[in-house]
Amino acid sequence: MLTNNLKIAWRNITKNKLYSSIKIGGFAFGIAICLLIVLYIKHETGYNKLYPAMERVYRLVVQAPEGNKINRWVSLSAPGAATLKDEIPAIESSGRMLPNPQFGAGSNQLTINSLPESHYDDGFVYIDQSILDMFPSPMQYGQLQHALDKPNTVVLTKSKAIKYFKGNPIGQQIYLNNDKSKSYTITGVIDDIPSHSTLSGYGFFMSLAGEPFYPGEQQKWTSNNYTIYIKLKPETNVSLAEQEIFKTYISGHYIPELIKAGRKVGPIVNQIKIKLQNALDIHLYSADIEDDRVSTLNRGDIRMVWTFAAVAFFILLIAGINFVNLSTANATNRAKEIGIRKTIGSSRNSLISQFMIEALSYSFLSLLLGVLLANLLLPLFNNIANKSIQMPWFNWYFIPSLVLATVIIGVVAGIYPALYLSGFRPIAALKNKLVGNVRKPSLRNGLVIFQFATSIILIIGALISNQQIQYILQKDLGFSKVQVIVLRGLNAVDDKLSPLKRELYTLPTVSHVSIGDYLPVPIDGAKRNGNAFWLDGKREQDLATQGQFWRIDEEYLDTYGIKLIEGRNFNPEMASDSMGIIVNKQMIAELGIKNPIGSKITNGETWTIVGVVDDFIFESLKGEGIAPIGLVLRDSPSLLSIKVQPQHMDETLASITKVWNQFSPNQKINYSFMDEGFEALYQDVKRTKNMFTCFAVVAIFIASLGLFGLVTYITQQRTKEIGIRKVLGASHMSLLKLLSEDFIKLVFVAIVIAIPIAWWAMNQWLADFNYRININWVYFIVAGGSAILIALLTISFQTIKVIRTNPVDSLRNE
Amino acid sequence: MIQLKHLFKWYNVGSTRSFVLKDVSLTIEEGDFISIMGPSGSGKSTLLNIIGMLDAPDEGEYFFQGENVLDLKQKKRTQLFQSHMGYVFQSYHLLDEMTVYENIETPLIYKNKSSSERKSIVSDLLDRFNIVGKKDLFPSQLSGGQQQIVGIARALAGSPSLLLADEPTGNLNSKQGEEIMELFQQLNAEGVTIIQVTHSEKNATYGKRTIHMLDGQLK
């Protein structure tokens, strides 16, 4: 029975090649996309699973309500980690990570031993030895246990070690930013950090042992720059641990220190909670943590995972629906066979099993093709999603899950057609009396509507996310980021900064040069900080205004085209400007200053306001609004920005390089364009957009494929009717209308269903952006219009063929 | 063998009933060869289909070898059909995507015969009807007469005691028709009960008994 059924299935598949290839091809496409997304989800949900005992490792997250939302952040103080471990018995170990560029993490200029050459590289981070113990990596050289115990030690990843050393580099020295007073000794080389790790992206792990970055820094509870990880002892109650941590950290140390410093304890302190975030949750559940971007270089979002899972499911569903629709539409062609089989003694069950085996054969072939297709598309997918996912061919579960998937997909897609077809009454089937029954199938119409509605939602999603990206990239930020070249690693120039600046000004296309690390775009190497401001003399009474405190030079405002709306720019000639400050409008607003020029504000030191600039957007357009900012005339000499004329860019770059080489013969020039850096900030949004675009294309493709097959069958069944109508004098146009009408109506219904759903979903997505487009009805018209156009093209391809046939041929068949 | 008692079959057309069968009672003995004749729409095919369990009456009783067919469950009815009946059609109704051999074999598969049993039965039939050389051909490669012979061979594969034929020679020329009728006579002589529906007076004469139908009633 089985071999016989398989044989019949194969003959049916090969008999009608168009029909089979639509069925198998569409299904295979759906399966391929689905498989890729499943692999992606598996990768995203597998973060940190490679480390042992992760169920006991947690990151400290502080949360406090603001209005009706809850702010969360992970930056904490230097003494927190060790104190918690000492005072709370449930904590087995604790460790800190300092990823803040302010202290030398991030990107640095690097020299090796006493060699003259220097290099510019990224991936620097300060950590405690205990972090290495919690997230252990296999060692290439050295001992993991005590690698970072001593001050001024560093552990490299394998690829960094290969980049700078031959063989075993243990014991060699590196220097950062030309600071010869401080050498870091290499004590270990670990394997490269895999992409599904919290430490991913880092390559230089520098010891925190013996650091104060400034006097008293290590004992200061009110300065928050560290991410703290703890490992609890087995079977510790997490919420009790959270309470103890709060008691020790906030009540035991933080508040007493505030009071000792004569600072006011704000009501916010009473609403603060310290939560423990499990290490396995860090990757996907930190999208709302404000400072997470600083400490985690490879961020995910659980909402993305769910969205993708839904997309995978719907694409598979669309492909499955094709299967059902084509099978039932094919009913009239199969009816005779079913009738015959029943009259030669087939029971309904044996017909059902025959159709199920056929369905399983289709799904098996589709899966085979789908897996091959997925394998081919994987590099492209990795590229779009910025992952390094591999086909898990040799994992024990891979092949069995595929087989299971084949069976499930085959059964789910095949069961309805099998029941439907096997239920035909034999006599009616033999006499072709099923036509009425087949022509008005409300279920099939429902399925077509569903397919098109889903596709239209994806198209609208792709259109809107595209538009949002365009909007962000072209948004007026309050400063100009075009034609600005940023040079990095200026420490190589040492004390010849002013001559370098003068030399650059001699180039004809250079209009402004500014030295400073606090760039208005948070690109790689740009610094940010957090400072508390008060009106002078109000420090003891008022709550602090949180803002940024940037060190700039007098060229900064001109280089970036930041608009001065009151007062004046800095003048280095005026001695008083060394204690002058330029603030933004937001600072004035938050501090409530009426006549800003000449007013004094304090952040520990007291500054006199000399100018006010218009607000400019210096953070990602996702997230928070504009924060208060104070600009002071101070050195921060590792980045240099050059505003150039748009003409002759190549020559300009060549002459800048020449000047650089003259001043820094031992380090290659490292430059980037600020607008490109700005675009890079939105890589993740761009990725989302690209993936949605791909999914939308696949969905509409599969849906059209199904429609094509369906139209082919329906029009074939109507050839006789068309013949008669032609004999009666119907025009081609009226026939085309007749044949298309029913389908186009379905697409219209799909549009009506899709619009509110897409509107709602895209509003959710846009809500993440502080600056966003309004959803315009044009998107709906474009998406709906293109769906109708695609459907019309699909339909007419078949119908025109049928309409053109000579009625004599179609009627003679009877 | 078969007892039909007061069979009615009707369709509702608007508010009126249109009868296809009207109070038909009939007894058929084992070994009989019956020809049912009548004009189009007289209900002969419907009667044949009810006897063949492919259709059910709206009213009346049907006994097959003493069993009340209409009370049987679907599964039991399929079994009864498989073990006793073979069907032959005017337009042959062979399975297009199967070879001659496979067409004859299919009913045996449904009867769960073992593969060796199937092989010997099919070989015997191919031999008997002189179509051994055509066993690997598909129906579209055969003439009408040959297709009908395959249809009959397939109907006989389950060694039925009752052969039902709905205008078996309707699509054939007269010479082919005669051959089929002679074959039927021979089968009947071997003990197979045959009921055929026919338009042709000449074909009816091959049977032992002729029943005339008009407007759903026996005459």
On chain B, the residues whose CB falls within 8 A of the CB of A352 are none
Please tell me whether residue B81 adopts helix, strand or coil conformation: helix
Yes or no: say if A791 and A742 are a contact pair by the CB < 8 Å rule. Answer: no
Binding-face residues of A in 350-389 toward B, CB within 8 A: 350
CA-closest candidate to residue B35, choices B219, B196, B200: B196
Kindly give, in sequence order, each residue whose CB lies less than 8 Å from that of residue A79, ignoring residues fewer than 6 positions away.
A218, A219, A220, A221, A253
How far is CA B77 from its chain centroid? 16
How far is CA A343 from its chain centroid? 60
Give the number of C-alpha atoms closer than 13 A to the C-alpha of residue A349, restricted to the C-beta side.
7
Distance between A721 CA and the closest CA of chain B, angstroms:
24
Please tell me whether residue B158 adopts helix, strand or coil conformation: coil
Residue type, A512: H
Q: Which of A11, A344, A426 sits opposite B106 (nearest CB)?
A: A344
Q: Give strand pairing partners of A206.
A: A126, A154
Yes or no: say if A186 and A174 are a contact pair by the CB < 8 Å rule. Answer: yes
Query: How large is the average pLDDT for residues B78-99?
Result: 86
Kindly give, in sequence order, each residue whose CB lies less than 8 Å from that of residue A440, ignoring residues fewer than 6 positions away.
none
pLDDT value of residue B193: 94
Between strands A580-584 and A606-613, the pairing is parallel
Yes or no: say if A59 and A279 are a contact pair by the CB < 8 Å rule. Answer: yes
Residue keyed to tokens 């084509």:
A326
Kindly give, in sequence order, each residue whose CB lies less than 8 Å from that of residue A281, ignoring residues fewer than 6 positions away.
none
Rounded to 5 degrees, φ, ψ at A662 are: -65, -40
CA-closest candidate to residue B9, choices B43, B51, B54, B37: B43
* A339 contacts chain B (CB < 8 A): yes
Distance between B115 CA and the closest CA of chain A, angstroms:
10
CA distance A255 to A249: 9
On chain B, the residues whose CB falls within 8 A of the CB of A4 are 102, 106, 109
On chain A, the residues whose CB falls within 8 A of the CB of B52 are 343
Q: What is this model's ipTM?
A: 0.80
Q: Apex CA A417: angle with CA A415 and CA A418, to 5°?
A: 60
On chain B, the residues whose CB falls within 8 A of the CB of A1 are 109, 112
CA distance B32 to B191: 9
pLDDT value of residue B112: 84
On chain A, the residues whose CB falls within 8 A of the CB of B55 are 425, 427
pLDDT value of residue A212: 84
On chain B, the residues whose CB falls within 8 A of the CB of A11 are 97-98
Over chain A (814 residues), the average pLDDT of each successive run of 10 is: 80 82 88 90 90 94 85 90 94 92 83 86 92 94 90 94 92 88 93 88 92 86 90 94 94 90 78 92 86 70 87 88 81 80 84 89 92 93 82 86 87 85 79 55 82 90 88 86 88 82 91 91 81 85 85 92 92 90 93 91 91 88 77 89 90 92 86 87 81 86 86 78 78 84 90 94 86 88 91 86 75 52
What residue spans define the domains of chain A?
2-42+302-471+683-812, 54-283, 484-680
Please tell me whether residue A125 adopts helix, strand or coil conformation: strand
Residue keyed to tokens 């055509």:
B134
Distance between A426 CA and the closest CA of chain B, angstroms:
7
CA distance A694 to A308: 12
Residue type, B105: E
Residue keyed to tokens 């009810």:
B50
pLDDT value of residue A433: 60
Yes or no: say if A97 and A282 are a contact pair by the CB < 8 Å rule. Answer: no
Q: Which of A340, A345, A348 sits opposite B82 (nearest CB)?
A: A345
Kindly give, in sequence order, each residue whose CB lies less than 8 Å from that of residue A172, ignoring residues fewer than 6 positions away.
A112, A113, A165, A185, A186
On chain A, the residues whose CB falls within 8 A of the CB of B82 are 345
CA distance A694 to A701: 10
* A116 contacts chain B (CB < 8 A): no
If you measure CA to CA, which chain A residue comes closest to B104?
Answer: A344
What residue spans define the domains of chain B?
2-218
pLDDT value of residue A441: 64
CB–CB of B111 and A345 under 8 A? yes
Residue type, A489: G
CB–CB of B82 and A12 under 8 A? no
CA distance B165 to B35: 9
Q: Is A413 left (phi over 0), alpha (psi -120 to 50) or beta?
A: alpha
CA distance A569 to A575: 14
Yes or no: say if A603 and A532 are a contact pair by the CB < 8 Å rule. Answer: yes
Yes or no: say if A163 and A107 are a contact pair by the CB < 8 Å rule. Answer: no
CB–CB of A340 and B54 under 8 A? no
Query: What is the pTM assigned to this prediction?
Result: 0.78
Q: Give strand pairing partners of A380.
A: none
Cite the DSSP H helix spans in A199-330: 238-246, 255-260, 267-271, 292-295, 302-329
Between strands B193-197 and B33-37, the pairing is parallel
CA-closest candidate to residue A244, choices A281, A275, A269: A275
Give the number of C-alpha atoms closer than 13 A to the C-alpha of residue A125, restricted to the C-beta side.
26
The three-state (H, E, C) secondary structure of A133-195, written as one string: HHCCCCEEEECCCCCCCCCCEEEEEHHHHHHHCCCCCCCCEEEECCCCCCEEEEEEEECCCCC
pLDDT value of residue A699: 87
Q: Give the torsion sign (CA, B93, B98, B99, B105).
A: negative
* B73 contacts chain A (CB < 8 A): no
CA-closest candidate to residue A726, choices A801, A814, A806: A806
CATH architecture of B2-218: 3-Layer(aba) Sandwich (3.40)
Test the B interface: residue of A3, A330, A343 with most B CBs within 10 Å: A343
- Tell me the DSSP string of A744-774: HHHHHHHHHHHHHHHHHHHHHHHTTBSS-PP
DSSP state of A116: S
Number of helices and strands (H, E) in chain A?
26, 24
Binding-face residues of A in 412-431 toward B, CB within 8 A: 425-427, 430
Kindly give, in sequence order, each residue whose CB lies less than 8 Å from that of residue A347, ignoring residues fewer than 6 positions away.
B74, B75, B78, B110
Rounded to 5 degrees, φ, ψ at A535 are: -70, 145
* A17 contacts chain B (CB < 8 A): no
* B107 contacts chain A (CB < 8 A): yes
On chain B, the residues whose CB falls within 8 A of the CB of A344 are 86-87, 106-107, 110, 154-155
Binding-face residues of A in 278-337 toward B, CB within 8 A: 336-337
If you measure CA to CA, which chain A residue comes closest to B46?
Answer: A427
CA-closest candidate to residue A794, choices A743, A752, A753, A745: A743
Q: Which of B49, B75, B158 sits opposite A347 (nearest CB)?
A: B75
Query: How large is the average pLDDT for residues B34-52?
Result: 90
Which of A659-689 are b and which e, b meaning 16 or more Cβ less than 10 Å from the residue's Cβ?
Answer: bbeebbeebebbebbbbebbbebbeebbbbb
On chain A, the residues whose CB falls within 8 A of the CB of B97 are 8, 11-12, 15
pLDDT value of residue A5: 81
Query: How large is the average pLDDT for residues B159-166?
Result: 91
Kindly give, in sequence order, each residue whose CB lies less than 8 Å from that of residue A507, ignoring residues fewer than 6 positions away.
A652, A655, A656, A659
On chain A, the residues whose CB falls within 8 A of the CB of B155 are 344
CB–CB of B89 and A339 under 8 A? no
If you measure CA to CA, which chain B residue comes closest to A16?
Answer: B97
Yes or no: say if A136 and A205 are a contact pair by the CB < 8 Å rule. Answer: no
pLDDT value of residue A813: 47
Q: Which two tokens stand for residue A678?
A: 């700005």
